[in-house]
Amino acid sequence: MVIPPRDMPDSNSNTAASSVTIPLPEPFSYREALIYLSRSPQECLHAVEGSRVMKLLEIEGKARLIEIREAAGSSSLELVFADGLPGSRGACEAAADYVTEWLDLNRDMTPFYRLAEKDSILGKLASDYRGLRIAGIPDLFEALVWAVIGQQINLAFAYTLKKRFVAAYGKRADWQDRNYWLFPKPSDLTGAAAGDLQQLQFTGKKAETVLRLAQLMDSGAISKSGLLALGDFQEAERQLTAIPGIGPWTANYVRMRCLRDPSAFPIGDAALHNALKLLLKQDSKPAEAEIRQLFTPWSGWEAYAVFYLWRTLSPAPPGPER
């Protein structure tokens, strides 16, 4: 479905604006954020163009294309409504809230860096990638589906499947000869069958899991607000793993990138194993017991330790800093 990325402000509003400024916390590295967001040319839900990030959001029921850039002085981000039309106060706040959550800008990183500076392994990573924050997935359905897609396949093929899924069920907005996409809502899969997803090269099990998740979320049986209201990430994980097709790795990935639990620990993650193998200069991937022992000093910040270890697998592109 193609929708126009436009949202006219209330004609009676005197608070409409065409851009929003978000003050940046310390430390924050926009360069590191760009490196992570640029990790796949197959990414379909945002586009990195030089030092700008383009992202289509649904705000107040309408599609808005926003451009994110670092303001002069590097002390803030500027969000610009790329269609040139101003947004209401609510639209501006919604855009700022999304980006703040997406880039984890409300996180106080002081305890993490204090912990890291005393650690022989994490200390170097924290120094090399200072200001790196976990790029999240604010929407629970998107986070769950992306995690299910990524089960037991390489990252390149996972991006291919996501692109096919979004093109089949998401909404598209065209702007200046480019396509921008919104991730499907659970209700967008109403009437879809497992065979439809299998035609996109989903396995039968993954197709069934995605449709089950869509039904559960569309009915309200599972929601992000409901999981967060539990006040217990372990209980949230138990509720997620009670869903057929959702295991501990998937649940912890969602805890990490959507529920924003800094202690989430996807210990079975293949990229984590590869990063540790290279970092520790071992011939084989470390055993689970060895990984748990290694992570013991990082208790409470396992998610950030994992994210910084992932970063070692994505070297900065050549050329000047951007």
User: Residues with catalytic annotation?
Assistant: 269
Pairing of β 52-59 and β 76-81: unpaired
Query: Across-strand partners of 55?
Result: 46, 66
Tokens of 143: 């986070």
The sign one gets for the Cα dihedral 269, 120, 297, 260 is: negative
Cis peptide bond N-terminal to 111, omega within 30:
no
End-to-end distance of the chain based on CA atoms, in angstroms?
Answer: 35
Tokens of 224: 């992000």
